[in-house]
Amino acid sequence: MNWPAEAIWEAVSPLLPGFTVEVLPELDSTNSELMRRARAAQLEPVLLVAQRQTAGRGRLGRQWHSAPGDALMFSFGLPLAPADWSGLSLAVGVAVAEALHPAICLKWPNDLWLGGRKMGGILIETALTGAPADAGGALDLRLGGGGDKRRFCVIGIGLNLAQPASAGLSTPPAWLGELWPGVDAGRALQKVAVPLVQALQAFERDGFAPFRARFNARDALAGRPVKLSDGTEGLARGAGETGALLVHTAAGVTAVTSAEVSVRPA
């Protein structure tokens, strides 16, 4: 497989001085590797791609499995200092979906969907950038949190390209090849890299505001019945100003910030 690492480097470097691209044949997890590096005070902006992951991770402690060649798996690591971290995963989803195809939807807070099926996911983690002793304080950011502003941020993205094995999954997954026949990981990455960096820089400057309408235009849950982890049920009404999922329940509108939300089966 030919990776367009140099072309990506040339396109991204003017936006991010010191930026490097690395493509490795195998890693446990691109997120884990960049978090280890952050703890070792390696804080330069980097795009790290793995052709195979032996311990890929998803949100909420889940695993992310992909057969080599069937998925694009990468993490973008960079120092970020937004005034408010709320809505970052939504902004990343907007950038990736817009870069790839108009038909891609976003399922709050971290998933890329196609026709009601999951095509990819986003896992964001951060580490403090202060003294090495502080840098172990990684947290799963989900929608926000974290008192101090400047952190090394690791944005991990996994995207199915070819039809994945779906054994054991209640809903079969989707893959980008359905929309873009013959797509390979390098070409998908090349489409996404610059828009992703631009989105991160816009988010750092202006927060979630520039992304709200764009997220809501692709919101896979809009108007659909959802069930929150505490049992509350209602109709999803899009993302609010800070990226919280608005849910219209019998008791009024609830803003969900980090709880797991599952779509109630029709």
Residues near ligand BTN, by CB under 6 A: 29-31, 53, 56-59, 62, 64, 73-75, 110-111, 121-123, 156-158
Q: Which is nearer to ligand BTN, 36 or 62 (CB)?
A: 62
Least CB distance from residue 82 to ligand BTN, whole Å? 21
Least CB distance from residue 106 to ligand BTN, whole Å? 12
Q: Which is nearer to ligand BTN, 52 or 150 (CB)?
A: 52
DSSP string across the chain: ----HHHHHHHHTTTSTT-EEEEES-BS-HHHHHHHHHHTT--S-EEEEES-BSS-B-GGG-B----TTSEEEEEEEEEE--S--TTHHHHHHHHHHHHH-TT-EEETTTEEEETTEEEEEEEEEEEE-SSTTTTT--EE-TT---SSS-EEEEEEEEEE-SPPP-TT-SS----GGGTSTT--HHHHHHHHHHHHHHHHHHHHHHTTHHHHHHHHHTBTTTT-EEEETTS-EEEEEEE-TTSPEEEEETTEEEEESSS-EEEPP-
Residue facing ligand BTN at closest CB distance: 121
Least CB distance from residue 59 to ligand BTN, whole Å? 4
Q: Which is nearer to ligand BTN, 73 or 261 (CB)?
A: 73
Q: Which is nearer to ligand BTN, 29 or 129 (CB)?
A: 29
Least CB distance from residue 249 to ligand BTN, whole Å? 25
